[in-house]
Chains A and B, each alone.
Chain A
Amino acid sequence: MLALLILAVWQAVVPLAGISEFVLPTPWTIVKRIVSDWMLLFRHAWITVLEVVFGFGIAVLTGIPTALAIFYSRVFEKAVYPLLVALQTVPKVVLAPLLVLYLGYGWAPKIFLAFLISFFPIVIATVVGLQALEKPMVSLLRSMGASERQVFVKLRMPAALPNIFGGFKVGIGLAVIGAVIGEYVAAERGIGYLQMQASSRFDTVLSFAAVIVISGVGVMLFSIISFLERKIVFQRETAR
């Protein structure tokens, strides 16, 4: 409702205030451009989606084992965890120019940046989730004669899942940022590249269209994670 109102005001104010569509195009102009150029936008957005999916996928596949190592190994916890927490404060996007230098113009730096930026929240959320389990719960399973493997499968993992999915949700949003920043710095394709191109040609309408499409990509990926969460994680709230 509010969004519609804002769009309506935006649509009305631009011509009334005499703002050039070159500076601030109206929503309708942007929509028309998205429709007319959808193939172009889709082609570039698809590249970005793939970068995000690979980067995020690698972050999940390496982040969860890292979290398990931190949880199960004291050495790992003492040596690696503080380093990870410290590294998390580094804004990873500042590495983008260096990554291009080392990894070139292709897929690698974007995927790596998407991976790097989403890795930390996944690791930390998983570790916190695993550590949050009450000790008596573990005693209970042990008293039933459970092995550590059984404790993990029956108790630790299901108990940590809400946290892990929290990490995924933060991570997927960040992965989109990582991939787009990678494209800003140096790329030949991708939605971020398209937007930079549009801006350099003062094509404000296309630039706005790219913003809309990137946002759409972010929302879509986030929704997929939310959907999986609803399927996999027991919804505590729904049960009164």
Chain B
Amino acid sequence: MNRVAPARAVSSPPPGVSVRIEGVSKAYDTREGDSIPALDRTDIMIEPGEFVAIVGPSGCGKSTALNLIAGLLPASSGRILLDGEVVKRPHRKIGVVFQTDLLLYWRTVTENILLPIEIKRGRAADYLPRVEQLLEQVGLQGFGGKYPSELSGGMRQRVAICRALIQDPGLLLMDEPFGALDALTREQMIMDLQAMWLSVRNTVLFITHSIEEAVFLADRVIVMSPRPGRVDLDLHIELKRPRRWAVHTDPRFVDYMARVRKIFESKGVLTER
């Protein structure tokens, strides 16, 4: 294994992208011809380099919001701007991590990570040092030649994160990326994600249904409630970084958790009997 120089082999990290969601609504048409509102006149502003978590139950429109920002769905009304540019199609500066790893099983780890480069007709060979660097950062050095079927679930999701980061995206979108992992793996991934982000400092929009995950990772936690999806709370998390796991017992951490939980209780998402 050749050690890769700590300096960035390909390019210096671009500054994070700013995100403006302006009065965006999205409704889905059903087979019966009805229209189901998923997102209702939502405004969210995200500063460059901010780590924002959106937390909410299923059906609150958080995944819809992500798909709209990723340019995978058109908004019914309103508009979304990335660095002042209206989103009409997938933007070149974004990387997306989905709930499942979505690795192509017939490609090796390295080939999977290079897929976005191939799609954009870049020279894959130029990015090989960056692939090695990313794999090292997620603790998978030497795994480049393996196939996804040879990796555990956690390792596969790490590869998916490397794939999203290969082009040093100004905006990283993560749609419940740790939802399919076991609790211990998840804990490790949360720590690793924070470490990676601190070394890059791009803009991250992290979608989750875990209050704890959101409060631990984010600078800002946006709480959404369902039918139709709306923003109920926009909470700034003022905890020093890097956050250690022990921060879970910090009274401020506990207080943030309680404030988010309270929203869900008032909306009937969480009830205690």
| Chain A residues near B (Cβ < 8 Å) | 134, 136-137, 139-146, 150, 154-155, 158-159, 234, 236, 239-240
Indicate whether A136 sits within 8 Å of B98 (C-beta atoms), given known contacts A143-B71, A145-B119, A239-B150: yes
| Interface residue B96 (Cβ < 8 Å from any Cβ of A) | yes
A136-B70 Cα distance, complex, nearest whole Å: 13
Most B C-beta atoms less than 10 A away, residue of A140, A145, A155, A158? A140
A154-B118 Cα distance, complex, nearest whole Å: 9
**CB-defined contacts of A142 to chain B, threshold 8 Å:** 72, 90
Q: What are 27 A-B contacts with C-beta separation under 8 Å?
A: A134-B102, A136-B98, A136-B99, A136-B100, A136-B102, A140-B98, A142-B72, A143-B72, A143-B90, A143-B94, A143-B96, A144-B90, A144-B115, A144-B119, A144-B120, A145-B89, A145-B90, A146-B119, A154-B119, A155-B104, A158-B104, A158-B106, A159-B104, A234-B106, A236-B105, A236-B149, A240-B150
**How many chain B residues touch the partner (CB < 8 A)?**
25
**CB-defined contacts of A146 to chain B, threshold 8 Å:** 119
**CB-defined contacts of A134 to chain B, threshold 8 Å:** 102
**CB-defined contacts of A144 to chain B, threshold 8 Å:** 90, 115-116, 119-120
Beyond A234-B105, A234-B106, A239-B150, 11 extra complex contacts between A and B, CB < 8 Å: A136-B98, A139-B67, A140-B98, A143-B90, A143-B96, A143-B173, A144-B115, A144-B116, A145-B90, A145-B120, A154-B115
Minimal beta-carbon separation of B171 from chain A (angstroms): 11
**CB-defined contacts of B94 to chain A, threshold 8 Å:** 143
**CB-defined contacts of B147 to chain A, threshold 8 Å:** 239
A140-B115 Cα distance, complex, nearest whole Å: 10
A238-B199 Cα distance, complex, nearest whole Å: 38
Contacts between chains A and B (CB distance < 8 A), count: 53
**CB-defined contacts of A239 to chain B, threshold 8 Å:** 147, 149-150
A145 and B92 within 8 A (CB): yes
By beta carbon, the residue of chain B nearest A147 is B119
A106-B67 Cα distance, complex, nearest whole Å: 59
A140-B163 Cα distance, complex, nearest whole Å: 11
B72 and A139 within 8 A (CB): yes
**CB-defined contacts of B149 to chain A, threshold 8 Å:** 236, 239-240
Minimal beta-carbon separation of A174 from chain B (angstroms): 28
**CB-defined contacts of B118 to chain A, threshold 8 Å:** 154
**CB-defined contacts of B102 to chain A, threshold 8 Å:** 134, 136-137, 140
**CB-defined contacts of A145 to chain B, threshold 8 Å:** 89-90, 92, 119-120
